[in-house]
Amino acid sequence: MPANLNLKYLVVIIISILISLVIHEFMHAYAGYKLGDSTAKIEGRLSLNPLNHIDPMMTIALPIVTILLFGAPILAAKPVPFDPRNVKYDEFGAAIIAAAGPLSNLALAIVAALVANAVGVAHPGLGSVLSVFIALNVALFVFNLLPIPPLDGSRVLYAFAPEPLQRFMVQIEPIGLFIIFGLVLAGGLGGILVNLNHFVLNLLP
């Protein structure tokens, strides 16, 4: 549990989650729309309204609990729907849609890091807020690119995987989140995520 975990810290985390996840989900929807599928737009997901994307348990409660337990957030929003029959480039189009979300989080982290460097020590309060925002977006980027269904990384892998692996990924997708939580609770995945987060953070400007 972080030593500075207080009400102000939690408010910053929640606001950062809302901003980051809304943009993440919007980019999924936008990529799908640009690739020829209107499903997300019809269902109201091509929107920057947080209420269209958040799930109270998975988006708000879960990351708070995992921060308390592991010191890093694990969270999810409502999946953005798309009809693969309408998407250009078939499986590769689906991979582009999947990658758009995590890449938006990486872009947000880079922009926030540039702003933090520009601000310097002149505004330590803003610097602290940006540090939380950066860490959260890096965590979203890393976590969502894990190649475990139903995470975004699995859809990217699926486009390049041989057919036997594709069939296996389809079979485990309904229990994918349970597999992820089990690996985290077992201690293995949590350590990998922390190390990957630190690696990406060290690459930021």
Position 123 in a domain: yes
Query: Is 1 inside a domain boundary?
Result: no
In a domain, 2, yes or no: no
Round to whole Å and give the CA distance between 74 and 125.
25
Instruction: Tell me whether residue 88 is in a domain.
Output: yes
* pLDDT in single tens digits along all 205 residues of the chain: 444 457 888 889 889 988 999 999 999 999 999 999 999 999 999 999 988 998 877 777 777 777 677 666 677 788 899 999 999 999 999 999 999 999 999 999 999 999 999 887 678 888 899 999 999 999 999 989 999 999 999 999 999 999 999 999 999 999 988 888 788 777 667 778 889 999 999 999 8
In a domain, 169, yes or no: yes
* DSSP secondary structure of the chain: --TT-SHHHHHHHHHHHHHHHHHHHHHHHHHHHHTT--HHHHTT-SS--GGGT--IIIIIIHHHHHHHHHSS-----PPPP--TTTSTTHHHHHHHHHHHHHHHHHHHHHHHHHHHHHHTTS-HHHHHHHHHHHHHHHHHHHHHTSSSTTSHHHHHHHHHS-HHHHHHHHHHGGGHHHHHHHHHHHTHHHHHHHHHHHHHHHH--
Distances (CA, A) of 204 to 31, 127, 145, 147: 25, 15, 18, 23
Q: What pTM, to 2 d.p., does this model score?
A: 0.87
Is 114 a member of any domain? yes
Query: From CA 80, how far away is CA 134, in angstroms rounded?
Result: 24
Question: Which is the catalytic residue, given 25, 91, 163, 173?
Answer: 25
- For the chain, the domain total comes to 1
Asked if residue 130 is part of any domain, the answer here is yes
- Note if 163 is an active site residue: no
Residue 52 CB contacts under 8 Å (≥ 6 apart), including other chains: 44, 45
**Residue at token pair 């939380």:** 132
Q: Which domain holds residue 84?
A: 7-203
Residues 10, 46 contacting (CB under 8 angstroms): no
